[in-house]
């Protein structure tokens, strides 16, 4: 796809965003691109605290669904605000259309216009360095690019199009591959709070928690390799609600007795009820 497969839309807030014409989906429709990027992929992942925790080596962030680069630029700006560890950002995206559209309308997308030079360099060469930040954009299929990361990731910003528009990235198998590249104590943050998403993350090996509200969404979702990184891990009360839900199956699969037993046996639900 290219620029012609997307169009600019104006949200109720007056901020511009981008719609994919094929699916009709709008990027960051709730809070707007800039605020949602800050909330879900900077604040919710505690990026600033990770950058300043004094540990050796860089903080590694995987940006799944570059789009118009709003999430990536929020991460970049955070790294510029604080002094601390280096940042290694890898963006996964097969389509240049959204970013080229944003760069082509600087009045509507002032954040991208502010960073035009590095974004154009990234489009051209696939890798740039800005101060303590190294930013890579390997082209191609997101799942195939996981093999080239070379190191586990501290933060997964999981922001592809929805399971309806991009079903391949939301299956248990796909999320299991993302789980495999998550560093110990790392965190995944995503806008989806659906029961199906949370079930799929649990089956893929994540511990799962409720994330912050984002406009009409009363919750988002976070995942990790254990409970320590989760402020509000799902507990047995959620498990009981799931048992009564009409949307109990994971994305891309039917709910079998085996899958149901795997959810019930997840170590996340072995403790005290919440």
CATH code where residue 151 lies: 3.40.50.150
150-175 burial string, b = 16+ CB within 10 Å, else e?
eeebbbbbbbbbbbeebeebbbbebb
Residue 188 resides in a domain? yes
Residue 274 resides in a domain? no
Residue 148 resides in a domain? yes
Q: What is the pLDDT of residue 273?
A: 41
Residue 30 resides in a domain? no
Does the pLDDT at position 111 exceed 90? Answer: yes
Residue 63 resides in a domain? yes
C-alpha angle 216-243-184 in degrees, rounded to nearest 5: 70
Mean pLDDT of 150-161: 96
Residue 175 resides in a domain? yes
Backbone angles phi, psi at 55, to 5 degrees: -75, 155
Give the predicted TM-score (pTM) of the model.
0.95
Residue 119 resides in a domain? no
pLDDT range class, residue 161, cuts 50, 70, 90: very high
Q: At what angle do helices 97-104 and 116-125 cross, to 10 degrees?
A: 150
Residue 23 resides in a domain? no
The structural domain count of the chain equals 1
Q: What is the pLDDT of residue 140?
A: 87
Does the pLDDT at position 270 exceed 90? Answer: no
Residue 34 and residue 20 in contact, taking contact as beta carbons nearer than 8 Å: no
Domain residues for the domain of 169 are: 40-92+128-269
For residue 244, what are the contacts with CB-CB under 8 A and spacing of at least 6? none
pLDDT range class, residue 1, cuts 50, 70, 90: low
């Amino acid at each position: 796809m290219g620029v012609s497969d997307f169009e600019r839309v104006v949200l109720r807030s007056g901020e511009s965003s981008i719609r994919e014409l094929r699916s009709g989906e709008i990027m960051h429709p709730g809070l707007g691109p800039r605020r949602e990027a800050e909330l879900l992929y900077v604040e919710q992942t505690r990026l600033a605290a990770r950058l300043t925790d004094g540990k050796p080596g860089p903080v590694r962030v995987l940006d799944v669904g570059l789009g118009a680069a709003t999430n990536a630029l929020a991460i970049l700006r955070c790294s510029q605000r604080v002094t601390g560890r280096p940042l290694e950002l890898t963006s996964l995206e097969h389509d240049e259309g959204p970013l080229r559209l944003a760069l082509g309308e600087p009045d509507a997308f002032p954040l991208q216009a502010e960073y035009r030079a590095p974004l154009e360099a990234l489009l051209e060469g696939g890798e740039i360095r800005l101060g303590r930040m190294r930013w890579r954009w390997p082209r191609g299929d997101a799942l195939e690019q996981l093999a080239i990361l070379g190191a586990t990731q501290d933060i997964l910003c999981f922001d592809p199009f929805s399971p309806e528009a991009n079903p391949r990235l939301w299956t248990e198998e796909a999320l299991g591959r993302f789980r495999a590249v998550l560093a110990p104590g790392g965190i995944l943050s995503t806008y989806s709070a659906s029961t199906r998403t949370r079930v799929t993350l649990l089956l893929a090996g994540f511990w799962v928690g409720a994330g912050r509200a984002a406009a009409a969404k009363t919750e988002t979702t976070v995942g990790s390799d254990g409970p320590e990184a989760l402020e509000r891990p799902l507990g047995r009360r959620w498990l009981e609600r799931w048992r009564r839900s009409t949307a109990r199956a994971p994305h891309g699969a039917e709910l079998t007795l085996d899958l149901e037993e795997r959810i019930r046996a997840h170590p996340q639900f072995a403790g005290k009820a919440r």
